[in-house]
Amino acid sequence: MAKAVETVAHSIARKTDAQMMAEAEQFYELMQSRRTVRDFSADPVDPEIIRLAVRAAATAPSGANQQPWAFVAIGDPETKRAIRLAAEEEERGFYKGRAGEEWLGALAHLGTDSDKPFLETAPWLIAIFAQRWGTDSEGRKIKHYYVPESVSIAIGLLIASLHSAGLATLTHTPSPMGFLNQICGRPDNEKPLVLLVVGHPAENTRVPAISRKDEAEVLFWKTAP
């Protein structure tokens, strides 16, 4: 099949080196100011911000452009309560043994436990589902490619968008979280990847004193001598 082509904005208006530098610096500063929080204010957040953030997320690159994702934005108290109850049930099993000592040791500095009040306090939860396969118009299965990679990139954009809007997020992954399919009414081909908690941080929220790895630990150059 012939491929249809169009022009991208970047090739029309190229930025100068100075502009690129300034924008990269600005974006880095914005991103480095993000912290995961676990205490949320109950203050409402306009659903339009959630909508725009999901639209930004859904611009992510994906395997064969299959866009294998679904986002469920949950704002009603009954559904949030159902999610909290189901998540806490799983988390109790996790903290009481399923995690094992090594995993609990790795988490200890975060001070987390099985109580998840933020699942009710925060104004929004966004459940992100990965479509392991799709279906065509005749209901036949369509193989999807690079699903976790694609959906994870979309989640990164979602978090970046919400942060740039001035909201806090918690990348929550109660394990297992199959209960989200039932509560959100999503089909079996969809696997919940993340339950993103979104809102304003509670007043005087504290976050663990953690640091990010040094550049030299994460960035390795291969350049001509």
Cβ–Cβ < 8 Å for 69, 158: no
Contacting range for ligand IYR; rule: CB under 6 A; set: 24-32, 120-128, 158-166, 171-179: 171-179
| Segment near ligand IYR (CB under 6 A); pick from 50-58, 119-127, 172-180, 204-212 | 172-180
Is residue 114 within 8 Å of residue 98, measured between CB atoms?
no
Which H or E element spans position 163?
helix 147-164
110 part of the interface to ligand IYR, by CB under 6 A? yes
Least gap, CB of 20 to ligand IYR (angstroms): 34
* Identity of the residue numbered 154: A
Contacts of residue 4, Cβ cutoff 8 Å, sequence gap at least 6: none
Binding mask 85-104 for ligand IYR (x = CB under 6 A): ------x--x----------
Alpha carbon distance 153, 47 (integer Å): 22
The minimum distance between CB 95 and ligand IYR, in angstroms, equals 7
By CB under 6 A, tell whether 36 contacts ligand IYR: no
Tokens of 179: 């209960």
What residues line the site for ligand IYR (CB under 6 A)?
Answer: 91, 94, 107, 110, 112, 172-175
